Amino acid sequence: MGKMRLDKFLAAAGIGTRSEVKELMRRGEVTLNGSGCKKPEQKIDPVSDIISVSGKQVFYEEMSYFLFHKPAGCVSATKDEKEKTVLDYLKEPQCRDLFPVGRLDKDTEGLLLITNDGDLAHRLLSPRKHVDKTYYAKIEGKVDETDVKAFLEGIDIGDEEKTLPAKLVPLNIGEISEVEITIYEGRYHQIKRMFEAVGKKVLYLKRISMGPLILEESLEKGTYRRLSREEIAELKKGR
């Protein structure tokens, strides 16, 4: 992408119309690489220059990618009559057509990728792609080696095919066990149904990674961050 006028950049990034943008510049709200800039015709490089409006950096991307820490109680949809959706948490008015890649149940927490890159979402969700998804879970009952073996062999959860081999790692075994489980597909309520099939109940479920994306401890529930360029490249490469 070549250089472009600053007012055009800000308008294209959804900050406002060209005249609204000029007014913001006149009021000194716009900085270019840390210094105030009042010239709408100023040429900027959208990739390497840092442009902020009222102290907040403005990004101009054809596609946007966010890692969201979904709290329990919100639904993995873009619109819902009654429930809070993941998009209610994203305050990015300049990004259009965002949607969550795949679904987490309403009571499941954790990592959810939100983007407007339909091609990438399609590839990540393709059943043939087998993107690994790891969850932390609390399970009612003692998870044992029989469960680990059964998950590795694939489980009949009432679908046409058994589940693909899944990696179950007990972290703490007790009346309530803590486990990590990695699956390579994304069937409806898959983890809950897998445990049900071995006579156990999921009490708590949180997705902690998906392919190259990892939910860091510091990202609080209900908040989100942009993916880094490296993460976007890794996702596109596929793993």
Q: What's the min distance (Å) between Cβ of 104 and ligand URA?
A: 4
User: Which residue out of 105, 117, 119, 144 is catalytically annotated?
Assistant: 105
Q: Which is nearer to ligand URA, 52 or 85 (CB)?
A: 85
CB atoms under 10 Å from CB of 161, counted, come to 10
Beta carbon of residue 194, minimum distance to ligand URA (angstroms, whole number):
8
Say how many CA atoms lie within 13 Å of 65 toward its Cβ.
16
Helix, strand or coil, per DSSP, at residue 183:
strand
In whole angstroms, how close is the CB of 129 to ligand URA at the nearest point? Answer: 16
**In this structure, what token pair is assigned to residue 75?**
């639904």
| Between 4 and 197, CB nearer to ligand URA | 197
3-state secondary structure of 238: coil
Of 129 and 189, nearer to ligand URA (C-beta) is 189
80 flagged as catalytic: no
Q: How far is the CB of 107 from ligand URA (least distance, A)?
A: 8
- Kindly report the three-state secondary structure assignment for every residue of 99-163: EECCCCCCCCEEEEEEECCHHHHHHHHCCCCCCCEEEEEEEEECCCHHHHHHHHHCCCCCCCCCC
Which parts of this chain interact with ligand URA (CB under 6 A)? 104-105, 108, 189-192, 205
Q: Of the two residues 6 and 86, which places its CB atom closer to ligand URA in the complex?
A: 86
What's the chain's length in residues?
Answer: 239
User: How far apart are alpha carbons 173 and 141 in whole angstroms?
Assistant: 8
117: closest CA among 99, 129, 140? 99
Dist CA 207 CA 212 (whole Å):
13
Rounded least distance, CB 71 to ligand URA, Å: 13
Q: Which is nearer to ligand URA, 210 or 235 (CB)?
A: 210
The conformation of residue 80, written as its DSSP 8-state character, comes to -
Cα distance between residue 111 and residue 123, in whole Å: 18
Catalytic center residues: 105
